A and B are shown apart, each in its own frame.
Chain A
Amino acid sequence: MNKLSPSRRAYEIVTRTMLYVCTAVTCLLLVFLIGYILYQGIPGINWEFLTTERSILRGTIGIFPAICNTLYVIVASLIIALPLGVGAAIYLTEYARNRRLVEIIEFATETLAGIPSIIYAMVGSMVFCISLNMGKTLLAGSLTLVIMVLPTIIRTTQESLKTVPQSYREGSLGLGSGKWHMIRTVVLPSSIDGIVTGCILAVGRIVGESAVLMYTVSMAVGMQDFSTIAGIMKSSGATLTVALYVYAKEEAEFSVAFSIATVLLVLTVLINFAASLAGKKLKPENK
């Protein structure tokens, strides 16, 4: 250090300062954001808040309907998106021989991943709510979300399929199994970690989505009639993120909004944790 010329020493000091200052800014932002949300949100959270609906009569606010709606949307979207996405990834890695077709499909996937959610919201409301006459329902919202999370599932599954050693496939085919049999019994089980991770990331994306659900489902924060499955899909109601927006922007119930934010924060932590856990624990040995 002492032998450096003054200009090099200045360079050293300036870059080191920038490194530490910028990292400190990032860390402080993180700590402040998380701390502030928890500080404002935790006091409002209790069992009643999580398990009841809003009651004008008693003047209490509960987010149970929003939790239910979020779950319905997650389940409905994944039921459709998961087979589609895994199927597409299998086609791309196992079957496709035409380089051009693979490039087109991959380009389409990347394009879908880059489209902002407000455009999905617009197109979803045009296609599902208006053209297909579904109205603003959980079904229309879930179908729009299928398109949105598809790239996430395709990409993670594909990455995972690529890491399955070629010798596994050769061994299976060499023992006389057909291609589909080989995929079902050898390739898919060895890439289960990627598929599960893809699912979890998709759940994260759905939980965090607000624009799509606001324009294809609804902003009503009340409870709907959920007696049959068809009834659920035809009904309509705000998910957690939409409820947060409504309470913050339109009803000025800020403590409720922060409590919902805390719930979302906890969910995000759980989802991230589950994703990294799935990546580690489900990975087959000797892969």
Chain B
Amino acid sequence: MKDAMTYPNPQPKQTAARSFRAAIKPAERIMQILFLICGLVAVGFVLIISIYLIISGIPAIREVGLFNFLFGTTWSAQNDQYGILGFILTSIYGTAGAIVIGVPIGFFTAVYLSKVAPPKVAAVIRTTVNLLAGIPSVVYGLVGMFVLVPWIRETFNLAAGDSLFAAIIVLAIMILPSIISVSETALNAVPQDYEAASLALGATELETYFRVSVPAAKSGIAAAVVLGIGRAIGEAMAIIMVAGNVANMPSLFSSVRFLTTGIAIEMNYASVGSLQRNALYSIGLVLFLFIMLINVLLNTLLKRDKEG
């Protein structure tokens, strides 16, 4: 890309060439401007999204009070109480739970696919994992609703199986594909010399993979984890189907609302202009800030990985 950018324009020397150049110039100029506009559109979209979220998110926070909004423990539209600590904690616990379950499984699968598996087996598993990544989130929600929720209800003797625990399992499964594929890419990029040197020094194959290859790919694997965090914290439709959606403070087997589902569950009936709807926008703003933080972290990790 650097080459393309610094590509020198051939300087016209003859008058004939110059007049030819002058003739085609307007079209060239217009196309260049058009492409520039296309490029700036993405920046424009980000600005519009940020501005809209900030402008519409601030009124409710001002009305409720920043402290009461972020650290209030009750959310009840009937009583005009809008505290989102429960949502924030649920999102954090839910994401942490999904990471604790999903990362080890995804990580070991990635090592297996990248280093141990016979190429044909690896290709089959890889294709299926990619399929898993493409399945719409409502489908995960549906299977969770049908299989996981009844199972939790019966196994743990609860009145209802819709719970934080069900959401954690669904999220863990949903982040698996991104963790596997990003970690595997990082592991595949480790120079073969490292592994050859380790093997020549007498380490076994597994010792080589886990003590040489994995440390060499560590920022790529960290990026996979952060990507998984981003996915899990932003997911809405799958967990709305299994988490029960009552605005409780989180505990493993109670019905809970996440930041995302807190927005989703009330969006369609909160009337425009009401404090309730504005409070939903404020939740959006909080979620957006979380995501931006994660994105910056992810980009730093990926950049470090690229630079080696």
Contacts and interface: CB of A to CB of B under 8 A. Distances in A.
Contacts of B111: 19
Contacts of B287: 116, 118-119
A25 B116 CA distance: 16
B225 interface: no
B187 interface: no
B288 A96 contact: no
B69 interface: no
A105 B5 CA distance: 15
Given A15-B206, A20-B112, A126-B52, A116 B236 contact: yes
B191 to A, nearest CB: 22
A44 B99 CA distance: 36
Interface stretch (A45-53, A87-95, A188-196): A87-95
B39 A105 contact: yes
Contacts of A215: 264, 267-268
Interface in B18-51: 20, 24, 27-28, 31-32, 34-43, 45-46, 48-49
Residue in B134, B135, B260 with the greatest tally of chain A CB atoms within 10 Å: B134
Given A105-B39, A204-B134, A211-B264, A147 B45 contact: yes
Interface string B197-236: 0000000101101100000000000000000001001111
Interface of A: 1, 4, 8, 11-12, 15-16, 18-23, 25-27, 29-30, 33-34, 36-37, 40, 83-88, 90-97, 99, 101-102, 104-105, 107-112, 114-119, 121-123, 125-127, 130, 147, 150-151, 154, 162, 166, 169, 173-174, 176, 178-181, 183, 204, 207-211, 214-215, 219, 241, 244-245, 248-249, 254, 257-258, 261, 264-265, 268-269, 271-272
Interface of B: 1, 3-7, 10, 20, 24, 27-28, 31-32, 34-43, 45-46, 48-49, 52-53, 56, 104-109, 111-113, 116-117, 125, 127-132, 134-139, 141-143, 145-147, 173, 176, 180, 204, 206-207, 209-210, 230, 233-237, 240-241, 260, 263-264, 267-268, 272, 280-281, 284, 287-288, 291-292, 294-295, 298-299
23 contacts: A15-B206, A21-B108, A22-B108, A26-B106, A26-B109, A29-B173, A33-B135, A83-B38, A88-B39, A108-B43, A110-B295, A114-B294, A118-B263, A118-B284, A123-B284, A126-B56, A127-B48, A127-B52, A151-B42, A178-B28, A208-B137, A265-B135, A272-B131
